[in-house]
Amino acid sequence: MKKYAFGVDIGGTTVKLGLFETDGNLLEMWEIPTRTVSGGKFILGDISEAAYEKLSERGISHLDVEGIGMGVPGPVGQDGTVFKCVNLGWDVFNVERELGELTGMRVKAGNDANVAALGEMWQGGGKGCSNIVMITLGTGVGGGVIIDGHILAGYNGAAGEIGHLPMTDDETECCGCGKKGCLEQYASATGIVRMTKKYLDAHKDIDSSLRSIETFSAKDIFDAAKAKDEAAVVMVSELGRMLGKGLAQIACVVNPEAFVIGGGVAKAGDILLDAIREHYVEYAFHASRDTEFRLASLGNEAGIYGGVKLIIG
């Protein structure tokens, strides 16, 4: 094993890069703009240039670098083929081969949510486990599945799309994916706000502190629930029920050691974990009821940590 490795997390606005020692020690993290113009044709060249500039600054030879591990916002096949990344402007091509040719280094790539899950397993909330499912609760609901220390990517890289588990048959509004009744419509930050607005409209008799906030957020709902606001308590429980039911279904298939919960909504902490755990136990198969629930700990750095783990194996 060589001494150094790069972890890269490509986002729609910026690319995060990390120079690591291969034992997991992060030496430096920095960002460059994601140039999505002209079909994103400059992105990989910019990454190569940024990596070599950092090596030059530190007097490190590229021959001492194990490689570059990269998270990409889209499905990635086992051979490194990207199956379109709409927000980068990319079509179908082999991202590992192209960046490898630009850098002269070994490159491994995966879906960004899966790579972040790998990072949390290696050095974050899932440390000590080799089988985890990570759930990212933000504007949407993302996920990643790690089995025996490796990403479960699926046939064309689309495994782990936890946010699009079908949960209800009577939903009238569409999810961003075009379906109706997806977990994301109930368990994301936007989902709990949507549900709470509907609940308050349907229960005019319930007094709630949320009614005094013109545009309340998911954080406002959790804060109100901690203060025992009746409507907020009901809605946090409902979010927990949806997640508990969805995760119980996942556990029947992959039987993880732990669920690692991350994203902005996870900042609610124990009140969120307790709500999920309560309903998860209700729905889970008996052999999976003791699955741990943990909070993610790497934040926005999970993707670069996962990139390094991807390259070092």
Domains along the sequence of the chain with CATH: 4-122+308-312 (3.30.420.40), 127-297 (3.30.420.40)
pLDDT for residue 158 is more than 90: no
Q: Name the band, by pLDDT with cuts 50, 70 and 90, for residue 157.
A: confident
Give whole-number Cα distances, 78 to 85, 109, 150, 159, in Å.
16, 9, 12, 12
From the CB of residue 278, how many other CB atoms can be counted at a distance below 10 Å? Answer: 13
pLDDT (0 to 100) of residue 156:
73
Q: Name the band, by pLDDT with cuts 50, 70 and 90, for residue 50.
A: very high
pTM of the model: 0.90
Cβ neighbourhood burial of 182 (10 Å; 0-12, 13-18, 19+):
buried
The average pLDDT across 196-201 equals 97
